[in-house]
Chain A
Amino acid sequence: MSLAARPAPEAAGRSSTGVALRRPRRVRATALLLLLALLVLAALASVAIGSRNVGWSDIVAGLTGSQGSIAEAAVAKRVPRTLLAAVVGAALGVSGAVMQGVTRNPLADPGVLGINMGASLAVVVGIAWFGLAAPSAFIWVAIAGAGATSVFVYTVGSLGRSGPTPLKLALAGAATTAAFSAFVVAVTLPRADIGASVRSWQIGGVGGASFDTLTLVLPFLAAGAVLSLLAAGGLNALALGDDVASGLGQRVALTRGSAALGSVLLCGAATAVCGPIGFVGLVVPHLCRLLAGVDHRWLLPCSALTGAVLLTASDVLGRIVARPGEIDVGIITSLVGAPFFIYVVRRQKARAL
């Protein structure tokens, strides 16, 4: 690429809102590499830091399977947790990016729209009323709950002349979240046997991770990721509006449906193992648009990496701040994410909301 060509795409690629539409390939590739490096750093920190910090030699020993000392045992316990945080963060990041693309809504996020809480409620109802016990069943139920909730929230939010505006979707999501968390309490209160776990279905965390939960959830996340990535090109066309997209030869309903299914799979499965974690899917795509531009073929992988970094780092932060205890990662993400939500709201023109 010639030197003279470099400033041109940047200048031409800026939309009216100031977000770069296109980034040179080199910038994007560098961004991805940088994110990968950050992820490795965050993962190392996540393995090393906790109520007991462990050294480099312990990490190496722990990774090779030795559990002789307490430090090595801590490493063995933290490795699946770290992997789960990274995988779930990636899933939520991609899910949010796809949702923002499908709804053309800057405030879309599986947490804000109440979809994670829907998955949570479905699992709680399954446990309390249908005697669900196997974690593999949780995932199916959670995905069904997430799907039903997303259809419901989107329908409610898009009724009326103006269609699904960010305000209506966010309100419908907030109302749904409030109602569903009341339902979660109502379902679990009479059941002292499951009442203790009610908290993990109201606030998400990655504390209870094991390799079993990881292998259980991975196929679902992989399916969701493949669906989402296949829809990336179509999402680019959708961004131009439904009419233009169908004029360009996109099958709008099919693209939208498969992308939505992918994102529901991702956030539903993530909620099934971690509980509802909000705002990751909101923050990540916005950051990634600054890094990689608005092309979904780059945006989605970038969102996956950024989501993984964000959730892993949040988990580490939760362990540092509250040492020797820990703060659930769902609390950290909403403390970090809500100000970001406010920032996005402030950037929009009032008319566009």
Chain B
Amino acid sequence: MTTTPTAGTSAPTVTPTVAAVVRVRRSRRTRRALVCLVLVVVVVAALGASLVYGQTVYSPREVLDVVLGRDVPGASFTVGRLRLPRAVLGLLAGTAFGLAGVAFQTMLRNPLASPDVIGISAGASTAAAFGIVTLGLSGTAVSTFAIVASLAVALTIYALSFKDGVAGIRLILIGIGIAAMLESLTTYVLSRAAQWDLQEATRWLTGSLNGARWSDVVPVLVAVVVLAPVLLHRSRDLWSMQLGDDTAAALGTRVERTRLLVVLAAVGLIAFATAATGPIAFVAFLAGPIAARLVGPGASLFVPAALVGAALVLVGDLAGQYAFDHRYPVGVMTGVLGAPYLVYLIVRTNRAGGSL
């Protein structure tokens, strides 16, 4: 289907309605492209800033040299070994959280049904903390463990909310209950560790990029490279499912297969990212609604939401590190930022008279 004004030339005349539709579609496309462009610029700028800025400020030229693999005294270690993995991990984790969040929100047709509200991130976090602290796992084993656990949690929530069909409201409330339980399990696991390490605790309770290494980055990179295309490939089907399962099936969407693939991909993204960074609070929840506000109605939100997620994590990490006297982990920043937005969302939805 084309959206250029010539689309109507096959008909004898272009009716004003068609012309209006075409105009609106074109302006939406322009807006979407523009928004994505701005977001890319923001992400790249934040990425650059987190490489350049720090205790020692290196020039962009030195940073570029390091990124290209040349040996620069001092900068090779600071930028190449410390800042680069941290920034890349932030970028990837933000992307993963943004994609998974908007996938769940779209599939469940509710902006509140993001993985961090309904307990799936909490499941991954509990599993990762248990795997690392109690079982002494590391690397891929942790990610696998987190994936299995989050899938089990997702399944449990779905099964528990099944009663004459799954009502979205029930699913959210049950998710809140499960999340509360899992968070206290996480606290328990941490309290059984040799000592109460506040750094470690913050990582698994709110999420942090501290101490990121390349070995943390690789699994997340693989997850994003493999799973993001699955989501993008299914995006048209997913958005047609917003009209209801029956309508979507009539439009040619294979509803069950789409739902299964989307859940698997989204849970995978959450689990891999969480295993590396902890559940960075509210990123999955915020990315979708912010992207929707920026882009406007009507289109797939995957790309803008992924960009918003990455921007949130990178900017949040920068602000947490350098905006205050003390360095805060990124999860504390996004947690402080996200809750007022949730309140705003509740207030706005209520005023519009919509149902939550």
Contact = CB atoms under 8 A, between A and B. Distances in A.
Interface in A5-57: none
Contacts, number: 149
B187 A168 contact: no
B169 A350 contact: yes
B206 A341 contact: no
Given A156-B347, A331-B188, A345-B177, 14 more contacts: A159-B346, A174-B117, A176-B339, A178-B335, A181-B206, A189-B202, A190-B325, A190-B326, A203-B191, A338-B177, A345-B173, A346-B161, A353-B167, A353-B173
Given A182-B332, A341-B180, A350-B170, A327 B188 contact: yes
B331 interface: yes
A170 B350 contact: no
Interface in A154-199: 156-157, 159-162, 165-168, 170-172, 174-176, 178-183, 185-186, 189-190, 195-196, 198-199
Given A160-B351, A168-B356, A182 B181 contact: no
Contacts of A180: 339
A353 B350 contact: no
Contacts of B130: none
Contact of B181 (A185, A196, A334): A334
A353 B173 CA distance: 9
B342 A167 contact: no
A248 B131 CA distance: 59
Contact of A183 (B161, B205, B336): B336
Among A157, A159, A196, A330, find the residue whose CB has the most chain B CB atoms closer than 10 A. Answer: A159
B173 A159 contact: no
A182 B339 contact: yes
Nearest to B336: A182
B198 interface: yes
Contacts of A185: 202, 205-206, 328, 332
B269 to A, nearest CB: 21
Interface of B is mostly: helix
24 contacts: A107-B173, A112-B180, A160-B349, A160-B353, A167-B173, A171-B172, A175-B346, A182-B206, A182-B336, A189-B198, A195-B198, A196-B196, A199-B187, A203-B191, A328-B191, A334-B180, A335-B185, A341-B173, A342-B160, A342-B177, A342-B178, A346-B160, A346-B174, A348-B170
A199 B181 contact: no
Interface of B: 112, 117, 160-161, 163, 167, 169-170, 172-174, 176-181, 183-185, 187-188, 191-192, 196, 198, 201-202, 205-206, 281-282, 325-326, 328, 331-332, 335-336, 338-340, 342-343, 346-347, 349-351, 353, 356
A179 B181 contact: no
A82 interface: no
A202 B326 CA distance: 21
A128 to B, nearest CB: 11
Contacts of A325: 192
Interface of A: 107, 112, 156-157, 159-162, 165-168, 170-172, 174-176, 178-183, 185-186, 189-190, 195-196, 198-199, 202-203, 278-279, 322, 325, 327-328, 330-331, 334-335, 338-339, 341-342, 345-346, 348, 350, 353
Contacts of A350: 167, 169-170
